[in-house]
Amino acid sequence: MGIYGGLKPEDWKRWGQFTTFKSNAAELLRREVRSGQIIYCSPLVDPYQPAEEAAQMMPRILDALLESPPRVFTIQTRGPLILRDLDRFRVLAERTTLRVSFSITTNREEIRRLYEPHCAGFEERLAVVRTLREAGIETYATLAPLLPCDPEVLASAAIEATGRDLIGDPLHIRATKRQGATTREAAFKIGAAHGHDDYLDAAHQARVVEQIDAVAREAGFTFTTGPRGFARLAL
């Protein structure tokens, strides 16, 4: 395994326990960005994780993009902190194709507290999505990773907030993802302790995807999962 995004192989064992910053990221971006480029900030490097509140790297990065916009700039995040930079995003959206993909994993707060105790709740995430949309930002609700939820409620709320097609993914398990990172052991332990083993079963995951897809189609939208879905954000 090589180094990716500044991570070393041993860092994966402590995933979620630390944050590292490339302090000269804005300067490097100014040097390397080109008008024809597509830049996709994936969940691997969520730029609005809590540490960003003090670090304030993104305002500098956005300023660099405003000076020399790429063809497409996409951010995947689950952090409400993104609204701090809304004025910059408004201007950037006028200069390039800007997309924000906001992760919404479950509509059930007791589930969110178990699996994502440090992340914003369901209603707050929906409110962030609505605010971005009202500001003219092309905003998607990304139902990933799909935690135990009420699929129809989750899908309907996401469509109402965005007015767009849905993108998502179940929890990654080796049965459905032959290569790359999969769900960490901690999630398996939580699932076993609270009776959520079905959400780590490929057949059950497929049924949940079908339920969400049915809601989306009835509303005139689509629900696309996996690499095919996320690739739409970089078109």
Give the whole-angstrom CA distance, residue 94 versus residue 97. 8
203 and 173 Cβ atoms separated by less than 8 Å: no
What is the pLDDT, as a whole number, of residue 190? 85
What is the pLDDT, as a whole number, of residue 9? 62
* Per-residue three-class SS string for 172-228: CCCCCCCCCCCCCHHHHHHHHHHCCHHHHCHHHHHHHHHHHHHHHHHCCCCEEEHHH
Which strand (E) or helix (H) includes residue 87?
Answer: helix 86-95
Give the whole-angstrom CA distance, residue 63 versus residue 69. 10
What is the pLDDT, as a whole number, of residue 148? 95
33: left (phi over 0), alpha (psi -120 to 50) or beta: beta
DSSP 176: T
Instruction: Give the phi and the psi of residue 87 in degrees, each rounded to 5.
Output: -60, -40
What is the pLDDT, as a whole number, of residue 198? 85
What is the pLDDT, as a whole number, of residue 180? 46
3-state secondary structure of 75: strand
What is the pLDDT, as a whole number, of residue 96? 97
Side-chain-side CA neighbours of residue 146 (13 Å): 33
DSSP 49: S
What is the pLDDT, as a whole number, of residue 4? 44
Where the chain has pLDDT below 70, the residues are: 1-18, 172-184
What is the pLDDT, as a whole number, of residue 13? 61
**Distance in Å from the first CA to the final CA of the chain:** 28
Reply yes or no: is the peptide bond before residue 148 cis, omega within 30 of 0.
no
Give all domains of the chain, ordered by start, each with its CATH number.
22-234 (3.80.30.10)
What is the pLDDT, as a whole number, of residue 8? 63
β pairing state of 72-77 and 38-41: parallel
What is the pLDDT, as a whole number, of residue 66? 97
Side-chain-side CA neighbours of residue 92 (13 Å): 29
β-sheet bridge partners, residue 142 = 103, 167
Which strand (E) or helix (H) includes residue 25?
Answer: helix 25-32
